[in-house]
Structure 1
């Protein structure tokens, strides 16, 4: 049990066992929950929903329900639904049975105490009362309130601290009722907008009515501070414990205590202050969850920035630029496993209420840093706005209200509308034979990659980023290969490496993609396509007996330094190539691993592929570096080619010239440029075309 929690919420008499079954010393401001078939007692902080176990042994077997706090003697009275008895509960939360007469054969699950009288209700039976004043003639005698209404579907009710009426929420229809204890008649005040089993109901001194829903622990409020001017709409106030058997009891004259909580920083319009039901996370519980490296700081009031009352604890989220229509990468650091919920005020209207403004919903985070994608809508305009991040053990939270643990961090952020122009190229299909310098089976399907290029530049032709997106079409390779794209003559130093955004198969990659040791930009899409594809077939999408969906996709956004002009970029499709996966066999005559590069015809190796130069003019290769003719056989055929079209590749071990007879003319002479079209291919030799 957390002693700080108890010291804050409970009188001293409640922290020790009382052998005399003593009354509570004062009117406690904790809300108590009696839960489970064998009752356990919990203390609940209504402000945040944080709760602690107070008693696991109430001194008798059975479920205690229909509980109420009697301010006349400072005891709790409840109904044991298992033994059909009325019980008296002392400050140590142990119960003794009372000799009440005229009890019904049926149990009561709804009850509260007012003016030393215990009131009970049951659907179909109506309202009953038991006098608790020993000086009265009907002491401990169950008496029906004649003429009381019997058709309310209730699981708890509570007395108002000032007006003397009972209030309750109808489970089935969500109506807020006012019940006259003298007559048992109800007045319907309106629909609260929520339904469910509301097994716990409380008041606090100002007239705030709290009720908790069993199935999810949601604590709602209705303001009944002015009982003549009630707006019955319920507001989600906090998240508490859920339970199948649940009853609440509280001293209604006590104010709802505000304990140590972490608050937000955003302006009041975002529902930040406690008075506005702003986000607040309890810091007194044993569970400690927070974002960043600094735990949430404790406040009792919301100021312009909560940093003025504590430490600078907004350190858990790092943003990249937020540009309209773009995908931003944000990094979120958590100290332990929990759930993230986050909002951005995209339209800058001072709230988080618009449909698209919850950007992360119940996102499970593990301890450490997690990189997440944030899609910025097309319509955002430049300017400052606010974002809110809430981290807790609870899966789903709104942008307001209490939470039993965790932290809230609010950030002032800047939205950008850079009016960038987009230049699209492709899609391109690059195909390779991986047996170089041996001609091999020449099916040109060992790696077939389809990709497109997107370049964004401002009105002055300054390129902000290059984005490559692609899908592996086939991998009929005997060897292990990687795939990369080289941007000739574009210096590696122009890339903002820290802001690269790289995904493989829809998941953020921890790889930088920008290859070290290169003078120009070389982007490694995969170091091992076989591992990234995880195909169940030996040859991926090249055999009719083993057809599969496309299993490897990538997206790579490469931000560039300022003042990189559009005309400084090489022309797409750039220089795609395959290379040997490190530490994997790639033929007896091949160099080892990464040093082996196979490019399109007439493209030279990169800085890290210079060892491949030693293989030129060996075996079937007839490269002539001086003439600029490389990666060609003696009859002029290439080990790789690229096409600005979709392309149907040959089946496994089917010679390219058998599938596409005119490819020879195209590759060696530049004629028959339509060699790949339907009228010039042999469909029986092509994958997927019989």
Structure 2
């Protein structure tokens, strides 16, 4: 008997504590004992997430055969050193019970019956076996131990057992995966069959539907077994903690489900893919809250299936750079909040499930940040719409279904196109880049870079290496400008005579405009999105400008979509790289700053740094005011320090508030510009912003 722990000292002194607080009636928590000197944990079987329940120093006893008693709502365990039963209350106080007639054995498996208040413990060996200990204080045999079946008749490599909630039988799985049923009233033992997996199943649990859950000590995998099936098979259910010493218990009348307070993330694909909880869908617990895809994660009570009444969560972890085609690389950017394991599946044969051979990214370890990755779909991939599943988690070797303690799952509906068709997105499918203009060119102005802010996305379709169509979608996100500005996109390298001008369309706020947006008589295709942005957005009665002052967060007022079909044979590599050439121009009839002295109209343009203007631009405007352009050297629209009047940021960027110089919103910006982009490359990220100086609704 050990005397170095508090319990041992209390026992020797005769000071046995009296318990007063049973657990709540049939808690749905599963309990787990680990480590040589027992530590008690609470585990969510649905995701495998576990955390310490009892205080770290609650005991230094060796405990095993953990059991939950539905008759009094206490936990019980067997102590090898004391050869005694340890009763545990809801506050993790303990009481020692000494049974009579119990042999000097170390019992490693046990549970408390549902049909009677009796504790059954087991030890493998010809001289050991299964023993019954009454826990009913009113019974004549209270705390009396009797042997139910000898080890000679029942000798199995088992490490835990559990009682079914309704049939009165105890169930266990041996290390070879054989499922056994034990009639504890007469000692009959019957083999039900092999569940298809083997292991050291140190924790077993039942739920109110008669499902048996078995946890493998070696890897922590938790399997679910429907004991009512004729040939029960194990289904990988979640990924729990591994240990060389596990033992579990829970109330068998409690359901296994996700928390009533949503702290689980689900996918959104149709349920044939294993999406909802009822279908053992892919799901991720909150964990410590630090691991997810994209900018954050939404938690749900269950999956919001595609096409359901509630929309699926916004997927922001993966941006596809080009489309998917059979036996061709698909490039994509994935954003992780922390280090984790990335897994991706694609339903290439479109049979509504993720088959074993459809795992295209397997256990790819990635750190926090953005990563450009790729995969190749098989040659046999069918054309048309299908689904991808993306999972990021701390555990590796996850499957397309089942629960994980942390991370996130995102399901993507994608279209597989013919191998000679390439669809390319900038900055990625369902992501926006940001254009920010200081419209006081060629004067520096207040340099808050919010005079015109536009969020946009570009999609190009190439067939047999020739550009077939271009689509640009976007919206005006802010306008801190008093000047009247037009906005346009030029596509250098794409001649105007190589596009179908009449079939080129502009849609504004869902309304198809009754004219072609293509500007005539330009060498390169140039589309006018708006001749005056003031025609589309207003600041609001209480605001001076549109969405540049905090508290002036009106809804988006102008959304646009530009579609340009290409009829000529133009190689995709011959046109300018993304983002092409977006620019501002002056609205006809409205004056600018004093540098011009008259309304410059279409002759005035502001382009991204080192982008040449169109033919409409008046060349002698260069060099006026603070402008330091040198067309002979290919230098345009920057001052002597290299500061631009227009920025393109390939992310959804938070612009500075009104009259706030960008350096006070993004302190690393100036160093990035003056170093020619070599330093502080991530200056625009939210983590590097002074958010008090950026726009918030």
Query: What TM-score do you get using the length of structure 1 for normalisation?
Result: 0.58
Corresponding position of 1:410 = 411
- Give the whole-Å Cα distance in 2 for the aligned partners of 1:411 and 1:351: 14
1:131-146 matches, within 5 Å, as 131-146=134-149
SS at 1:262's partner residue? strand
Corresponding position of 2:507 = none
Tell me by how many angstroms 1:463 deviates: 7.3
1:94-493 matches, within 5 Å, as 94-114=93-113, 115-124=116-125, 125-146=128-149, 149-171=153-175, 173-224=176-227, 227=228, 229-259=229-259, 260=262, 261-283=264-286, 285-304=287-306, 308=310, 311-355=313-357, 357-419=358-420, 462=466, 493=493
1:62-101 matches, within 5 Å, as 62-101=61-100
- Give the whole-Å Cα distance in 2 for the aligned partners of 1:55 and 1:363: 36
Tell me by how many angstroms 1:133 deviates: 1.0
- Is the alpha carbon distance of 1:420 and 1:89 closer, same or farther for their aligned partners in structure 2, counting shifts above 3 Å? closer
- Give the whole-Å Cα distance in 1 for the aligned partners of 2:74 and 2:463: 73
- Is the alpha carbon distance of 1:463 and 1:77 closer, same or farther for their aligned partners in structure 2, counting shifts above 3 Å? same
Tell me by how many angstroms 1:566 deviates: 7.0
Structure having the higher Rg: 1
> Residue by residue, what CA displacement relative to the aligned partner does 1:407-456 show, whole Å, maximum 9, x if unpaired?
110000111114479xxxxxxxxxxxxxxxxxxxxxxxxxxxxxxxxxx9
- Give the whole-Å Cα distance in 2 for the aligned partners of 1:361 and 1:92: 43
Tell me by how many angstroms 1:323 deviates: 2.0
Residue 132 of structure 2 contacts residue 145 of structure 2 at CA under 8 Å; is this kept in 1? yes
- Is the alpha carbon distance of 1:126 and 1:346 closer, same or farther for their aligned partners in structure 2, counting shifts above 3 Å? same
Residue 392 of structure 1 contacts residue 405 of structure 1 at CA under 8 Å; is this kept in 2? yes
- Give the whole-Å Cα distance in 1 for the aligned partners of 2:155 and 2:250: 26
SS at 1:55's partner residue? coil
- Is the alpha carbon distance of 1:306 and 1:51 closer, same or farther for their aligned partners in structure 2, counting shifts above 3 Å? farther
- Give the whole-Å Cα distance in 1 for the aligned partners of 2:415 and 2:284: 26
Corresponding position of 1:660 = none
- Is the alpha carbon distance of 1:389 and 1:381 closer, same or farther for their aligned partners in structure 2, counting shifts above 3 Å? same
Tell me by how many angstroms 1:373 deviates: 1.4
Corresponding position of 1:43 = 42
- Give the whole-Å Cα distance in 2 for the aligned partners of 1:220 and 1:49: 11
1:621-660 matches, within 5 Å, as none
- Is the alpha carbon distance of 1:420 and 1:112 closer, same or farther for their aligned partners in structure 2, counting shifts above 3 Å? closer
Tell me by how many angstroms 1:62 deviates: 1.9
- Is the alpha carbon distance of 1:371 and 1:223 closer, same or farther for their aligned partners in structure 2, counting shifts above 3 Å? same
Tell me by how many angstroms 1:397 deviates: 1.0
> Residue by residue, what CA displacement relative to the aligned partner does 1:251-275 show, whole Å, maximum 9, x if unpaired?
1112223212211111111111111
- Is the alpha carbon distance of 1:80 and 1:395 closer, same or farther for their aligned partners in structure 2, counting shifts above 3 Å? same
Tell me by how many angstroms 1:563 deviates: 4.8
- Is the alpha carbon distance of 1:139 and 1:417 closer, same or farther for their aligned partners in structure 2, counting shifts above 3 Å? same
Tell me by how many angstroms 1:458 deviates: 5.2
Residue 284 of structure 2 contacts residue 404 of structure 2 at CA under 8 Å; is this kept in 1? yes
**2:51 counterpart of 1:52:** yes
- Give the whole-Å Cα distance in 2 for the aligned partners of 1:247 and 1:22: 23
Larger mean CA deviation between 185-194 and 110-119 belongs to 185-194
Larger mean CA deviation between 147-156 and 129-138 belongs to 147-156
Tell me by how many angstroms 1:153 deviates: 1.1
- Is the alpha carbon distance of 1:369 and 1:97 closer, same or farther for their aligned partners in structure 2, counting shifts above 3 Å? same
- Give the whole-Å Cα distance in 2 for the aligned partners of 1:562 and 1:201: 67
Residue 83 of structure 2 contacts residue 98 of structure 2 at CA under 8 Å; is this kept in 1? no
- Is the alpha carbon distance of 1:312 and 1:57 closer, same or farther for their aligned partners in structure 2, counting shifts above 3 Å? closer
Residue 265 of structure 2 contacts residue 297 of structure 2 at CA under 8 Å; is this kept in 1? no
Residue 327 of structure 1 contacts residue 376 of structure 1 at CA under 8 Å; is this kept in 2? yes
- Give the whole-Å Cα distance in 2 for the aligned partners of 1:568 and 1:295: 38
Residue 462 of structure 1 contacts residue 562 of structure 1 at CA under 8 Å; is this kept in 2? no
Tell me by how many angstroms 1:365 deviates: 1.6
- Give the whole-Å Cα distance in 1 for the aligned partners of 2:234 and 2:251: 21
- Is the alpha carbon distance of 1:568 and 1:144 closer, same or farther for their aligned partners in structure 2, counting shifts above 3 Å? closer
- Give the whole-Å Cα distance in 1 for the aligned partners of 2:40 and 2:138: 31
Residue 66 of structure 1 contacts residue 247 of structure 1 at CA under 8 Å; is this kept in 2? yes
- Give the whole-Å Cα distance in 2 for the aligned partners of 1:341 and 1:353: 14
- Give the whole-Å Cα distance in 2 for the aligned partners of 1:291 and 1:568: 32
Tell me by how many angstroms 1:25 deviates: 3.2
Tell me by how many angstroms 1:211 deviates: 0.8
SS at 2:233's partner residue? coil
> Residue by residue, what CA displacement relative to the aligned partner does 1:138-175 show, whole Å, maximum 9, x if unpaired?
2112210145732111000100000000111111x211
- Give the whole-Å Cα distance in 2 for the aligned partners of 1:396 and 1:296: 24
- Give the whole-Å Cα distance in 2 for the aligned partners of 1:563 and 1:223: 63
- Is the alpha carbon distance of 1:305 and 1:318 closer, same or farther for their aligned partners in structure 2, counting shifts above 3 Å? farther
- Give the whole-Å Cα distance in 1 for the aligned partners of 2:364 and 2:411: 17
- Give the whole-Å Cα distance in 2 for the aligned partners of 1:562 and 1:195: 63
Residue 258 of structure 2 contacts residue 301 of structure 2 at CA under 8 Å; is this kept in 1? no
SS at 2:310's partner residue? helix
> Residue by residue, what CA displacement relative to the aligned partner does 1:187-238 show, whole Å, maximum 9, x if unpaired?
11111011111000000111111111111111100113xx4x4431000000
Tell me by how many angstroms 1:81 deviates: 2.5
